[in-house]
Structure 1
Amino acid sequence: MPAACETRQPSRRPATLLAALLLAAPLLGASCAWGQAPAPLAERLAEIREINRFVPEKALPMLQAIEPEARAGSVQDKVELLAHLCLAHYYLGKFDQALAVCDELVRLGRLEKNNAAVAKGLLHQAYVKYAQNELALSHTLIWEAERLAGTTNDVELRMRAGISSAEAYAEDGNFPRALEGMQAIVTWTRKHGDKVHLVIALNSMAKLYVTMRGYDKGFEALDEAMALAAKTVSPGRLALLKATEYRLAVGTGQMTRALQAQLDELALQRELGAHSAVPYSLVNLADCYLKMHDHRRALAYGLQAFEAARALGNENLVATARVNIGQAYLAGGRVAEGKRSFEQGLAIYEKLGSKPELQAVLAEYGNALERAGDHAGAVHAYHRERALSNELFEKRRQKAMLELQEKYDADRKQRQIELLQRENQVKSVEIDNRRLQQRVWWLLAVVFALASVVVGLLYRKVRHANAQLYRKNLELKQQSVRDPLTGLYNRRHFQEFMRNYESADQRADQRGAGVSGDEMVSALFLLDVDHFKHINDTWGHGAGDEVLIKLADSLREILRETDMIVRWGGEEFLAFLPALPKSSLDEVARRLLNGIADTHIVFQGTRLSANVSIGFAPFPLGPGGEPLSWERAVNLVDMALYMAKGHGRNRAYGVCGFANFGRTSMEEIEQNLEQAWRAGFVEMSIVTGGYPELRASA
């Protein structure tokens, strides 16, 4: 589970509105009792508004009951109705209905030239698109809504749009801009808003500090919000503050405080009848108990969360509950039940198409199986996670190449436009010259000289532009074979290299004797960063990128200039070493393990270091003098790498050769390398590293 014990489903909900008693439903009908006239429509909408924020399942039928009256009322009444209907559908996970109502709200606002209505519609559309994992579109909608909200006098709308804008910058990784925006909206709210508005803004500030791991400042903002909230009567808003306290406590390792905050939030939700929010708290409680190694309670809350999520019809929450139940079973020794529950959760994530989420769950699955002693299952889970990681990595690489190509095409079009403009200028000059020739013959020589100078300058500029285009083409070709993050060769370049690698004469030369008659070989080394997901989860993806960059630099220092180093995918590196003594492979592995462990990595004031697991083998490799293809050799090295993972990490397993080959086959060895090794059919070398697996210091 994520470090902050939060549910996996994206859940940016809008800031709460004006303070009111949440269970205000009786007020809606009280004015009709004893023959009294109903309250004005605007008052009833205001009363429903706060109920909608915390108990949407109760608010939706109330809104539907007054919908005919509101649609027949004023433009403002219709705007408020549509805004609340959109949010109610969104809160209940009915995204198609929510988007349809939001579209109607935007059309109404544009028809009436009402910027506040358009801003509300765009903002609510952004929340839905965020929940559907369309982050780029969500951010675009938020920033347009913020621009329109700034033209209105609606305090609450401007505050809510400003908070969402800061959150969008944080999701893009632009934390300085996010913090600047959040501080500005808190300052603005102090001046223009009331106590409830300030509670909302301070709570959002505290949550941003959680994301930035600025926990001290987060607690300061939360304490001020708690003090202000105590002066209002709103159990729902207190529940939101308890949720933020829970995240801050988990982030600072105060698990007892986190647990109490989550229990308080759950009690408030049940008191309010906020059934749509209860499953999230149950999932968080199960996750927290897992982190506290209380597997019995984790299982109990996981089962409750599963039932509540299934009743709510939220498949993402059902999948999360299944994973928590599986972890509890595995930790309690019930391996078969744990695997079954995990697989059920994974099946839902696959159906939903959430591949980043599926990758994270597969990594958790592998770790849980490894702790439960099911090493074969763990290796299988790691294989699935790595295959998905490679797929996502390739998509990101293709996206980067497309962006680079688009930039290149745009530059080329701009150059063409400039050339056309210059050509037009030349034509204008020629026309002017002809007119001058007809009128002033004695200036003909001067005009021709001037035209020649202009054409010469243009010719030089065209040559300069062509030279720049040639350099850009060279850069593009170089970037197509390099990994954009580390500068190492990419997988495609290595595959093309190996298809053309070494003629028969070159291989014969390579097999000559080295020092003291030692056989000369090439070698393949496949390295995988240990616990790389933990680095990303703990310090963020920026830290993960910094680790990969520094490890790439270390590999260049440790290996020779003639060795090919490849970013194989995700956190994996492949090194191809030509022409070295076969007896030196173990020493190379030892240098790699220790050299990488000594790599100095600093990210945002924190010193990090990481280890790798390695699989290696000489190349060419094969039994009976029949070498395997390079693809099969890499596959064997990959299996050796996962043996190193499964046997404790921070070590290297090398395939040295084969024995008793008459009793087995290459296909059987490739099916299960470890079993073949233990049966005596494969000769392996094991090199262990001498440093701890992961360290960090301020």
Structure 2
Amino acid sequence: MNRRLLVFLLSLCAPLLAQAETRLAAALDRELDRELSHLVARAYDRPDAALEALQALRQSRPAGNALGFTLAEGQILVHRGDIQGAEAIAGILEGEPQGQALGLLLRALIADRLGRRAEAAELARASLQSLEAGCRDQGLAQAIERGQCEFRAVWSALRVLEREQSAQGRLAEAESILRRSLALAQAGADRHLSAISLNRLAVLSQDQDQPDAARRWLIAAQEQAKELPGTLARVKQSEAIVASKRGDAQGVLNGYEEALALAQQADAPRTEAQIRVNLADLHMHSGRPALAVREARLALPVVLAFKDLRLERTLRHNLAVALLLQRQFEAARRELVRAEQLARELPDPARRAEELREIGHAWASSGQAREAITVFHAERELSAQIHASQREAQMQQLQLKYDSERKQRDLELLTRERSLKDQQLANHAMAQGVGLALAVLLGLSLVLVVVMLQRVRAANRQLKANQQLLRAQSERDPLTDLANRRHFLAVMQQQSEQLFAGGLLMIDIDHFKHVNDQHGHAAGDAVIREVAQRIRSSVRDQDLVVRWGGEEFLVFTPNVEPADLARLAERVLNSVGSQPVATDNGPLRVTVSIGFAHFPLPPAKLRQHWEQAVNWADMVLYTAKAQGRNQAVGLAAVDARDAAVLSEIEADFDAACRSQRVRLQHIPGP
């Protein structure tokens, strides 16, 4: 009897014991996952120590999550820059029945580390198809608690996607991804991942001109990073970046200095190196090249040790510019060679154009006009390619929108025609009984047909008008309402087979980058609009004013005499520089540099294509910039008897100026 009672009681307790065992196993798995996550985060700055700790943890927990250990090892190798080892780990994961998605995630992290953002995003999306299955918005915390949602793996994949979207300028999509990753980190109570997501949301909000939102995100990030010095250092770094985008120079410096102290306290060399790279960039743009060189040289050994190519590219570029500003040309050239190699390995056209612009300004500031002109030409060619690509994308979007609207109109027309036919059939049925009604209905049908035909003709007229409007809009610059390059090229096509004749003024706003860096992009846009208006009001009605790109403008003046062209250049100089430009940050004094020339070039009047004419005006402009800015420099005469001599002069313009084969006219600004 006692034996039977004991068996009965054991049968009742068995399910409860099984449930308790399951809950204990889940709790142990969650604890192991937290420990692995801590080691991966630690590996960002100390990968070797993290790898040793991982091996010790694996030996102490032989029955632990094998896939979790393998993924963590791969992530640590990625942080260390051991790409070959990480790829081997990815192959191991992909060979496991449940490890395919984790293998794809690790390959996405590898591609992202190497700067191959498009490939990384594609791999991340493929991994998310499996990883996100257990992470639904409803009951997310419960799914994580039960081990159904590998939220840290999903967070890492989303981080890769956000980088790719931000790099392409799709800020709204990037913000949506970041909010999803933040929800995961908060549901999993991971303060480090929450702080990183909040960091990025702050920077992204500032990029979208939402300063209040950026401030709120930063406060929340600091709250999450409490008692985590390494994470807090990265929060302070983001705070400095946001201050930079707001134009708060003192806030930038304070943020980086606080971040540096925290990184040193946390013994985080890689984070410290990142901050020093940013400090070098700050000092370089603030006119402190010696401090920029010092910070860059302190960061360089750490960056090289981690094989961080993206950070090395930024560091080499800043170091090269700072050395140029110190006139250490040989050392600068060595850094430029390495920076250019990294730019080829990590293609990013927009970033490369900005780098070339800064290098060109540095060459010009150090008095090396020839190198400055070469770099400026390379930058202009790359910017033209970027603008063409952006214009093509915009035209495709407009065409898609137009096609959609046209299809909608066609659908509405077909619906109306079907309704008309239905009405006609009903009228015909009624007309069988009543002859008079038939006549009336037939007359009504004819009237309706006439009305519909008139509407069709009106729709066609509206369609043609929309096409003409679209073509006109594509040839205007949206910021200044001036003609753009597309319109200028259309005008020049009429002269392609003729001798180019007339005057050209190439105009560049002096030190415009300082306006953007110190006062923000809103002030920069206000300056561009006001300068465009002043140029337009200074020239004749028949002159064509073009926004050539960025802070540059081109004026084409047909049927003008050389003396009148010089007076026109002087009028533009005084119109722009005589009065400050009003901005939200207060009045700014703005001046321009101008290169002008009258074609055919005197005295030989040699035949030239319009593209050559623009290049001559461009060379004279950069002579004006290299000789101090706030002035106009014009081509008074070119000693060339034929096209071959003219090409020689064009190939080495500086030498021709020194030998008096090219005579220049100088007009000082106000």
Task: State the partner residue of 1:392.
Answer: 386
Between the aligned partners of 2:63 and 2:111, the Cα distance in structure 1 is 22
Q: CA deviation at 1:560?
A: 1.0
Find the partner of 1:443 among 420, 437, 446. Answer: 437
Find the partner of 1:350 among 320, 330, 344. Answer: 344
Give the direction of change, closer, same or farther, for the CA distance of 1:427–1:103 in structure 2 (3 Å limit). Answer: same
1:165-564 to 2 correspondence within 5 Å? 166-167=201-202, 170=205, 173-176=207-210, 179-180=212-213, 202=219, 204=221, 233-244=227-238, 251-253=248-250, 257=254, 260-270=257-267, 274-287=268-281, 290=284, 298-438=292-432, 441=435, 443-501=437-495, 522-564=502-544
Give the direction of change, closer, same or farther, for the CA distance of 1:269–1:283 in structure 2 (3 Å limit). Answer: farther
Give the direction of change, closer, same or farther, for the CA distance of 1:456–1:578 in structure 2 (3 Å limit). Answer: same
Give the share of equivalent positions with the same residue, in percent: 28
Between the aligned partners of 1:598 and 1:45, the Cα distance in structure 2 is 66
Asked if 2 retains the 8 angstrom alpha-carbon contact of 1:655 and 1:684, the reply is yes
1:639 aligns with 2:636: no
- Unaligned stretches of 5+ in structure 1? 1-36, 187-199, 205-221, 508-520, 691-698
Task: State the partner residue of 2:95.
Answer: none
Asked if 1 retains the 8 angstrom alpha-carbon contact of 2:506 and 2:621, the reply is yes
Asked if 1 retains the 8 angstrom alpha-carbon contact of 2:599 and 2:605, the reply is no
Between the aligned partners of 1:675 and 1:119, the Cα distance in structure 2 is 65
Q: CA deviation at 1:683?
A: 2.6
Asked if 2 retains the 8 angstrom alpha-carbon contact of 1:279 and 1:317, the reply is no
Give the direction of change, closer, same or farther, for the CA distance of 1:586–1:296 in structure 2 (3 Å limit). Answer: closer
Structure 2 SS opposite 1:628: coil
Between the aligned partners of 1:97 and 1:105, the Cα distance in structure 2 is 12
Task: State the partner residue of 2:12.
Answer: none
Task: State the partner residue of 1:218.
Answer: none
Task: State the partner residue of 1:129.
Answer: 161
Between the aligned partners of 2:220 and 2:483, the Cα distance in structure 1 is 46
Between the aligned partners of 2:466 and 2:26, the Cα distance in structure 1 is 73
Choose 419-428 or 541-550, whichever is displaced more: 541-550
Between the aligned partners of 2:236 and 2:180, the Cα distance in structure 1 is 32
Q: CA deviation at 1:59?
A: 5.7
TM score, norm. by length of structure 1: 0.72
Between the aligned partners of 1:373 and 1:562, the Cα distance in structure 2 is 37
Between the aligned partners of 1:300 and 1:667, the Cα distance in structure 2 is 44
Task: State the partner residue of 1:93.
Answer: 113
Between the aligned partners of 1:634 and 1:492, the Cα distance in structure 2 is 15
1:593 aligns with 2:616: no
Between the aligned partners of 1:323 and 1:69, the Cα distance in structure 2 is 46
Give the direction of change, closer, same or farther, for the CA distance of 1:118–1:585 in structure 2 (3 Å limit). Answer: farther
- Paired AA for residue 174 in structure 1: Q
Find the partner of 1:46 among 19, 27, 34. Answer: 34
Query: Deviation digits for residues 214-264 of structure 1, max 9, x if unmatched?
Result: xxxxxxxx7xx5xx97xx533224423543565578733378745642431
Asked if 2 retains the 8 angstrom alpha-carbon contact of 1:259 and 1:285, the reply is yes
1:580 aligns with 2:537: no
Asked if 1 retains the 8 angstrom alpha-carbon contact of 2:367 and 2:626, the reply is no
Give the direction of change, closer, same or farther, for the CA distance of 1:109–1:359 in structure 2 (3 Å limit). Answer: closer
Q: CA deviation at 1:589?
A: 1.0
Task: State the partner residue of 1:679.
Answer: 659
- Paired AA for residue 493 in structure 1: H
Between the aligned partners of 2:301 and 2:634, the Cα distance in structure 1 is 48
Task: State the partner residue of 1:28.
Answer: none
Task: State the partner residue of 2:132.
Answer: 109
Task: State the partner residue of 1:140.
Answer: 173
Choose 85-94 or 583-592, whichever is displaced more: 85-94
1:559-570 to 2 correspondence within 5 Å? 559-570=539-550
Could you say what the CA RMSD is over the residues aligned between the two structures, in angstroms?
4.4
Between the aligned partners of 2:659 and 2:150, the Cα distance in structure 1 is 71
Structure 2 SS opposite 1:610: coil
Structure 2 SS opposite 1:665: helix
- Paired AA for residue 235 in structure 1: P
Query: Deviation digits for residues 555-580 of structure 1, max 9, x if unmatched?
Result: 22111111122222332222121223
Asked if 1 retains the 8 angstrom alpha-carbon contact of 2:109 and 2:160, the reply is no
Aligned length, in residue pairs? 592
Asked if 1 retains the 8 angstrom alpha-carbon contact of 2:128 and 2:157, the reply is no
Q: CA deviation at 1:620?
A: 2.5
Query: Deviation digits for residues 669-692 of structure 1, max 9, x if unmatched?
Result: 2122332233222232111111xx
Structure 2 SS opposite 1:175: coil
Between the aligned partners of 2:286 and 2:535, the Cα distance in structure 1 is 39
Structure 1 SS opposite 2:601: coil
1:658 aligns with 2:653: no
